[in-house]
Amino acid sequence: MRQALRIAILAHSTNPRGGVVHALELGDALCRLGHRPTVFAPDAAGAGFFRDTVCATAAIAVAPAERNVTAMVETRIADYVRHFEAAKNRRFDVWHAQDGISANALATLKQVRLIHGFARTVHHVDTFADAALHALELRAIKAADHLFVVSRLWQDWLKRELARDAEWVGNGVDRRRFSPTFDGTDLELAARLKLPRGVPIFLAVGGVEERKNTIGLLRGFAALHVQCPSSLLVIAGGASLLDHHTYQAAFTEALEHVRLPAGAVIRTGPLPQALMPALYRLATALVFPSTKEGFGLVVLEAMASGVPVITSAIPPFTEYLSDDDVLWCDPFDPASIAAAMARSLDVSHRDRLIQRGMQVAERHDWTTTARRHIAAYEALREPLYA
């Protein structure tokens, strides 16, 4: 094997978001391959990462941040820069940012010649009305020496919009963690959420956010509920650095206007990672009608857990899923979402979807994803340690 690389992988937070999940899984896989990764993140809550890891992790001390998103982002960039200005904290061969905050910090360190260069994974590109935030979003991409992507959608976007080539590395799922095998956590979680037995439970993961299309999902569920009045909608997760207050207020208003009985919609908020496999297993189907994703890791997690998936018939989902793997919906049409939810209750559909979903999960392996990074890492190796 080549000499082990000391790799700094930087994430935007310790929360269970897709990019952070990717960072930790990549770190664990690289560690198993014999390398020495450390995953970093600002940790405002002081609770550490949302799950235990094989690889090393480090929480960055943070300064108090304003509620304003731009000010918060600038503060977190400064937190990262302050940490790595100390020479003792820069003993790495390779620098790899997973988001715009950490990539801007590495861009600054590169600008003042404290590091030689860095890689950036572009999971997706956000659109910001604030000019300063938009400029930071673009800088985080343009300043990187090597770009990775997890989907062809964003690989094409980077080439078309920014004339940047990016290397596709894909995503994976840990099938030791996410599986169809029930354990004690299933009963624990069902009791905690007061979920009745024998009723259809439609699961959404990611909280209430505009790009998750939670209002469209709610309207689709309301239409389905007319046909299946015992059904429940469980919305889990939602930890985010961005401000979704306006959309969440619109969701609350929409919830008041749809004709649903009390308790038909359950918002769990973020749950301990140890309970997430059980959450999938308790679901009748995962409903993920997102309008904008980098990849959609929850799709693989649900499939590995033996749960049928309903998702949007748009990229990136259409890149790695076929008509036989999922039930497609038009995310902009609540009636289409409702129709897919109804089809998921059909036993003939369910058996096929569960089998196909397990096969899709088997094709997505974190070790393979990790290996796709190594050649670029070697090329980016800091001259001091080459």
Domains of the chain: 6-172+366-385 (3.40.50.2000), 184-362 (3.40.50.2000)
Asked if 322 contacts 182 with a C-beta cutoff of 8 angstroms, the reply is no
Which residues lie below 8 Å from residue 268, measured CB to CB, with a gap of 6+?
A: 193, 234, 235, 236, 237, 279
H/E stretch holding 213 reads none
Structure tokens at 128: 């910001």
Residue 6, Cβ neighbours under 10 Å: how many? 17
Per-residue pLDDT, 127:
87
Q: Alpha-carbon distance 343 to 352, whole Å?
A: 12
**Which of 338, 316, 278 has the alpha carbon at shortest distance from 327?**
338
Residue 184, Cβ neighbours under 10 Å: how many? 8
* Percentage of the chain modeled with pLDDT above 90: 87
| Position 385 pLDDT exceeds 80 | no
| Position 70 pLDDT exceeds 80 | yes
Of the pLDDT bands very low, low, confident and very high (cuts 50, 70, 90), residue 2 is low
Of the pLDDT bands very low, low, confident and very high (cuts 50, 70, 90), residue 242 is low
End-to-end CA distance of the chain: 16
| Position 147 pLDDT exceeds 90 | yes
Q: Alpha-carbon distance 376 to 369, whole Å?
A: 13
Average pLDDT on 153-170 reads 98
| Position 349 pLDDT exceeds 90 | no
| Position 342 pLDDT exceeds 80 | yes
Q: Alpha-carbon distance 189 to 275, whole Å?
A: 7
CA 21 to chain centre: 6
Q: What is the DSSP string of 68-86?
A: SHHHHHHHHHHHHHHHHHS
Q: Alpha-carbon distance 336 to 229, whole Å?
A: 18
Asked if 26 contacts 7 with a C-beta cutoff of 8 angstroms, the reply is no
